[in-house]
Amino acid sequence: MALLPPAFLLLALLAGILPSGTGARAGTGLSVLGFLLSLAAVLARARPATLTLPLGPPSLPLHLALDALSAGFLVLVLASAACVITVEGHGADEPAAVRAGAACIAGVLLILLAGDGMTLAIGLAIACAAIWLDPAQPQPAALLIPLALLAATSLLTPAGFAPRFDTIRAAPPEVMEGTGGALLGVAGVGALIALPLGFRSPMRDALHAGMLLPAALFTLLRLVLDVSAAAGQPLWGEAMMLVGGVIAVCQGWIAGAARDVDVAAGALARCQAGLAMAGCGLALRCRLADLPAGAADALAGVLLLTMGGLAATLVTLASHRLAAGAGAYRLSRLGGLLGLMPATAAAASGGLLALSCVPSSLGFAAVWMLLRAVIAAPRTGGLPSQCVLALTAAAIAAAAALAATATLRLAGIVLLSRPRTPQAAAARDIRGPPRTVLMGLSGVVAAIGVLPIPALSLLARPVLQELAGTAAGFDGSAVGSGTGYQPLPVAALLGLCIGLALLVRFWRRREARPASAWLDGRQPPFGLPFGDPAAQAAGRGFVPAVPRLPLRLPRWPALPAWRWRLPQTGLWLILLGAAACLMVLAVGE
Amino acid sequence: MSLLLALLAQALHVGLMLLAAPLLAGVESWLTGRLAGLRGTPPWQPMHEMARLWRKSPISQDNLTAVSAIAPAGELGLALAAAALVPSFATGMALSPLADLLVIAGLLAAGRLVPALAAFDLGTAPAGVRAQDAARLGVPAEAALILVVVALGLMAGGFGTDQVVTQQQDGLMQPAAALVVALAAMLALALAEASQPDPHELLFNGPDLAIALLAGWLRRLVWIDLISALFLPFGMSTVAAGPLGWLLGVLAWAAKLFFFLSGFAAVQTALGRIPRHSLPDLLGVAALLGLLAAIIVLASTSAV
């Protein structure tokens, strides 16, 4: 496994000179190899292992570590990576896509295998650079995130020691330093989740949804619930609950209001990640109060939402393919793609169903676990803490409702109705390996939705045991102990009821009288054979409008314009110097 | 033997719900007419309407997909599944292990999505705009319902429907203030659900419309049954009580249904149908009441 990050980095460096198709095939092959290795490690319940790399200064060598937590995340991330490279790694822009993909995968692998804060920061820097430093529209502000998390790790490390995770486990930080580090970590991970790309790139969108978001959740679990849990404070959990809840609600609202299909799909993925962040906070609260059942429920919800990263990857890939086929990303210019691109539309429907939080879907199982953790959470800390818990429940409820509406909007406007433009009417379905990958992903997320417990038992049981202190209640078919949610019987009941209704409906078939496509009596206007776009639902008005604040803010006085500007290079030098000073202070005391 | 009784009770419950759904709509319109001083339509009018629609020939359009063909049956199936899980005259039925309040809320939310998908499949402007409005109203409605369920779960210690009903019957659902606030939220949600215009006549015709109307009536019955089971479980029997206990449970259930119908009809006659522009405010109030109920439970049971 330790050879995979440098292999992907080498692939990124050579992407420009490899023959057409070779880079994508090499990337897919490496991802599949890594997936199989990590799956073998998970199934065999491999023992934790560490590796010290002869890189870096003598007092700060890099460390890699593989344990149950990282192995489980590696399986999900590498599966997403293989799918993304197969679908988006070919085409006219192949060298740039393979370069970005390979670099991002290398960075994420370093994050998941990191044994110390420096390796974690290097992995984050590579991954953030691959995602946000597009040559046409670079967003260098994203590189502040690795610095923030490096600073967080340094604060969590006891004075005089290198920022290794096993050092932090052995000697938990003091209250002030620990709280500072945890809050900085929460802020960094929150920024990693919520920061939008700002430009359109199918490969980067899919990598962000399928790899970077799970890596962000892994970072949070590693820093706050794993290495520094012994010094944990309720404030850390409350911060995660609030930040995660705000992200989930905001991204859910964006998913329901965005005008472009790829922006809506990306927002749905970030909404799930926000819910998972809130779940991490719930898990920490329960663990600190010695409530292993509640912590297990919350962590199970987090892990199910992380598995939902596969559904987010599927929806992102399918949305780009649908838009490419129809020639537009704007929702008001799509439509009727269910009949024109049936395979892609079916795969997209499977992914949207998994994210929609309806019974027997993956999203519903995760939300159920989180709400069960809410009712099992400790009732301590006074009224402010209880209000935070209630607000978290409200955020989960609002995010679930917004996600359901957003998926309805995407399915209804993009896949159903009539084509709104001639380009959409001429859409052709994808073929070959990308089609197989999308259909396979759709089947996998549907299977996880009706069988969440076997999926958790297979991939995450050691993680639950390690982080929550118990995995009891995840042995049977019901989610959670006692009278729980039983996805398979509920799906069977739904199938039975809908089947009975269909049987009754088609018992006495009668020949239907055909009518024209314009049943409402109005013929399409002259010159607009696809109908007047202004007369069809265009995807606006699905979510309640954000109320305007009745306050009128005072006008600030105009500040004098800066006469001089710091060169951008100088700004980065200052930031890097500050980070280096922080490291030296942390190590040298 | 107990399994047989549970299965029998479940079958009886589903049959009662299917029979009561159109009757409920008929009685409601009759009551509304009588309270307004009119003669009122006969209570069995919806059944005549369904029979008439069933005999009509359906009309199809060439641009419709399988979604439009399956949507009426899907909506009825979802409503039937929710109806099977909400207890009416007895607890401990065959499907009670699956009867989870969050699952019921999810099924009701999914039932709202299906007609919207059919509206988008149809592609016409009025249907699409109405589906958009319904989706926008569904956001606060679903959030409010989940918050009420969380408040009840906090009081009962779980989401099981039978668990909540049994604790309510034993008077263990505390504090009572939270229960009253949650009941107010549920009544507001039910009123808002009843005040929304019926989209089915724009979407379906013939037998499909008959099935969709039955699904809509069944959803309304599920709402009333849910409120009566969670907050007024008086007279509800258990499966082990036998046929006599079930009969008493059915009589109590019918009395509660009539009480709720009378209340709804009186409110609609006195205040009129809630205007469409006020529905978002009503649903927002319901969501806030659900949040308040959760805060009251947490604050009353918290330790400093």
What is the band of A269 on the pLDDT scale with cuts at 50, 70, 90?
Answer: very high
Q: What is the mean pLDDT of residues A129-152?
A: 82
What is the band of B182 on the pLDDT scale with cuts at 50, 70, 90?
Answer: very high
Residue B90, SS3?
strand
What is the band of A589 on the pLDDT scale with cuts at 50, 70, 90?
Answer: very low
The partner residue sitting opposite B125, judged by closest CB among A484, A512, A535, is A535
Kindly provide the b/e burial profile for residues B209-244, where b requires at least 16 CB atoms within 10 angstroms of the residue's own CB. bbbbbbbbbbbbbbbbbbbbbbbebebbbbbebeee
Cβ proximity of A339 and A320 under 8 Å: no
What is the DSSP-derived secondary structure letter of residue A227? I
10 Å CB burial of residue B4 (0-12, 13-18, 19+) is: exposed
Q: Which of A191, A161, A271 lies closest to A589, judged by CA?
A: A161
Cβ proximity of A232 and A288 under 8 Å: yes
**Per the CB < 8 Å rule, is A494 touching B60?**
no
According to DSSP, the residues that pair with A260 across neighbouring strands are A330
Q: What is the pLDDT of residues B21-50, one digit of tens each?
A: 999 999 988 888 888 888 888 888 999 999
Per-residue confidence (pLDDT) for residue A512, from 0 to 100? 67
Per-residue confidence (pLDDT) for residue A532, from 0 to 100? 63
CA distance A272 to A257: 17
Contact residues on chain B for A413, CB-CB shorter than 8 A = 120
Q: What is the mean pLDDT of residues A375-392?
A: 89
Statement: residue A549 has pLDDT above 60: no
CA distance B263 to B254: 14
Q: What is the pLDDT of residues A34-61, one digit of tens each?
A: 999 888 888 888 778 887 777 666 666 7
Give, in order, the Cα–Cα distances in Å from B76 to each of A363, B160, B292.
23, 24, 33
Statement: residue A477 has pLDDT above 50: no
Task: Give the tokens for residue A536.
Answer: 């069809």
* Cα B165 off chain centre by: 17
Give, in order, the Cα–Cα distances in Å from A18 to each of A29, A104, B58, B225.
15, 18, 60, 67
**Per the CB < 8 Å rule, is A537 touching B139?**
no
* Cα B61 off chain centre by: 32
Rounded to the nearest angstrom, the minimum Cα separation between B265 and chain A is 29
Go through chain A and tell me how many residues it has: 589
Closest-CA residue of A relative to B145 is A397
Rounded to the nearest angstrom, the minimum Cα separation between A192 and chain B is 27
Among A135-139, A392-396, A497-501, B109-113, the minimum mean pLDDT is found in A135-139
| H helix count then E strand count, chain A | 22, 3
Cβ proximity of A294 and A392 under 8 Å: no
Rounded to the nearest angstrom, the minimum Cα separation between B36 and chain A is 35
Residue B92: CA atoms inside 13 Å, Cβ hemisphere, count? 15
The partner residue sitting opposite A393, judged by closest CB among B58, B294, B302, is B294
Element (H, E) at A4: helix A4-14
Contact residues on chain B for A516, CB-CB shorter than 8 A = 61-62
**Per the CB < 8 Å rule, is A405 touching B135?**
yes
The partner residue sitting opposite A412, judged by closest CB among B72, B117, B139, is B117
Contact residues on chain B for A375, CB-CB shorter than 8 A = 150, 153-154, 157-159
The partner residue sitting opposite A405, judged by closest CB among B58, B139, B280, is B139
Statement: residue A517 has pLDDT above 60: no
What is the band of A9 on the pLDDT scale with cuts at 50, 70, 90?
Answer: confident
Cβ proximity of B53 and B210 under 8 Å: yes
Cβ proximity of A225 and A237 under 8 Å: no
Per-residue confidence (pLDDT) for residue B117, from 0 to 100? 92
Per-residue confidence (pLDDT) for residue A53, from 0 to 100? 75
Identity of the amino acid at A153: T
Per-residue confidence (pLDDT) for residue A481, from 0 to 100? 47
CA distance A362 to A35: 22
Residue of higher predicted confidence among B58 and A560: B58
Q: What is the pLDDT of residues B246-275, one digit of tens each?
A: 999 999 999 999 999 898 888 888 877 788
CB atoms within 10 A of CB A459: 23
**What average pLDDT does the structure give for chain B?**
89
Identity of the amino acid at A493: L
Q: What is the mean pLDDT of residues B86-115?
A: 92
* Cα A455 off chain centre by: 18
Per-residue confidence (pLDDT) for residue A420, from 0 to 100? 80
Cβ under 8 Å to B: A residues 487-506:
489-490, 493-494, 497-502, 504-505
DSSP A323-351: HHHHT--BGGG---HHHHSHHHHHHHHHH
Q: What is the mean pLDDT of residues B282-302?
A: 91
The partner residue sitting opposite A542, judged by closest CB among B98, B123, B135, is B135
Statement: residue A479 has pLDDT above 80: no
Q: What is the pLDDT of residues A65-123, one digit of tens each?
A: 888 889 999 999 999 999 998 888 776 667 788 888 889 999 999 999 988 888 899 89
CB atoms within 10 A of CB A39: 18
Task: Give the tokens for residue B120.
Answer: 């988008």
Rounded to the nearest angstrom, the minimum Cα separation between A118 and chain B is 40
Cβ under 8 Å to B: A residues 335-394:
335-336, 338-339, 356-359, 364, 367-368, 371-372, 374-375, 379-383, 385-387, 389-391, 393-394
What is the band of A573 on the pLDDT scale with cuts at 50, 70, 90?
Answer: low
**Beta strands per DSSP E along B171-252:** 237-238
Kindly provide the b/e burial profile for residues B261-298, where b requires at least 16 CB atoms within 10 angstroms of the residue's own CB. beebbeebeeeeebeeeebbebbbbbbbbbbbbbbbbb
Q: Is A358 left (phi over 0), alpha (psi -120 to 50) or beta?
A: beta
Query: Could you tell me whether strands A49-53 and A62-66 are parallel, antiparallel, or unpaired per DSSP bridges?
Result: antiparallel
Query: Could you tell me whether strands A49-53 and B90-91 are parallel, antiparallel, or unpaired per DSSP bridges?
Result: unpaired
Among A134-138, B94-98, B192-196, the minimum mean pLDDT is found in A134-138
Kindly provide the b/e burial profile for residues A365-383, where b requires at least 16 CB atoms within 10 angstroms of the residue's own CB. bbbbbbbbbbbbbbbebee
Give, in order, the Cα–Cα distances in Å from A380 to each of A123, A169, A228, A286, A374.
38, 26, 21, 11, 13
Percentages helix, strand, coil for chain B, rounded to the nearest 5? Answer: 80, 5, 20
Per-residue confidence (pLDDT) for residue A274, from 0 to 100? 95
Contact residues on chain B for A357, CB-CB shorter than 8 A = 106
Per-residue confidence (pLDDT) for residue A58, from 0 to 100? 63
ipTM of the predicted assembly exceeds 0.90:
yes
**Per the CB < 8 Å rule, is A501 touching B84?**
no
Q: What is the mean pLDDT of residues B140-145?
A: 94
- Please name the residue that has the structure tokens 């490279």: A85
The partner residue sitting opposite B123, judged by closest CB among A409, A418, A510, is A418
Q: Which of B14, B62, B63 to mutate to test the interface with A (most CBs of A within 10 A)?
A: B63
Q: Which of A480, A80, A414 lies closest to A259, judged by CA?
A: A414
Q: Which of A483, A506, A523, A543 to mutate to test the interface with B (most CBs of B within 10 A)?
A: A483
Per-residue confidence (pLDDT) for residue B60, from 0 to 100? 75
Q: What is the mean pLDDT of residues A453-468?
A: 82
**What average pLDDT does the structure give for chain A?**
83
Cβ proximity of A480 and A301 under 8 Å: no
Q: Which of A246, A260, A211, A252 lies closest to A110, judged by CA?
A: A211
Share of chain B above pLDDT 70, in %: 99
What is the band of A508 on the pLDDT scale with cuts at 50, 70, 90?
Answer: low
**Per the CB < 8 Å rule, is A358 touching B106?**
yes
Using CA atoms in the order B216, B217, B223, B225, what is the torsion angle rounded to 10 degrees? -150
DSSP A510-564: -PPEEE-S-TTSPPPPTT-TT--GGGS--S-S-SPPPPPPS--PPPPPPPPPPS-
Cβ proximity of A475 and A457 under 8 Å: yes
Cβ proximity of B251 and B109 under 8 Å: no
Closest-CA residue of B relative to A369 is B102
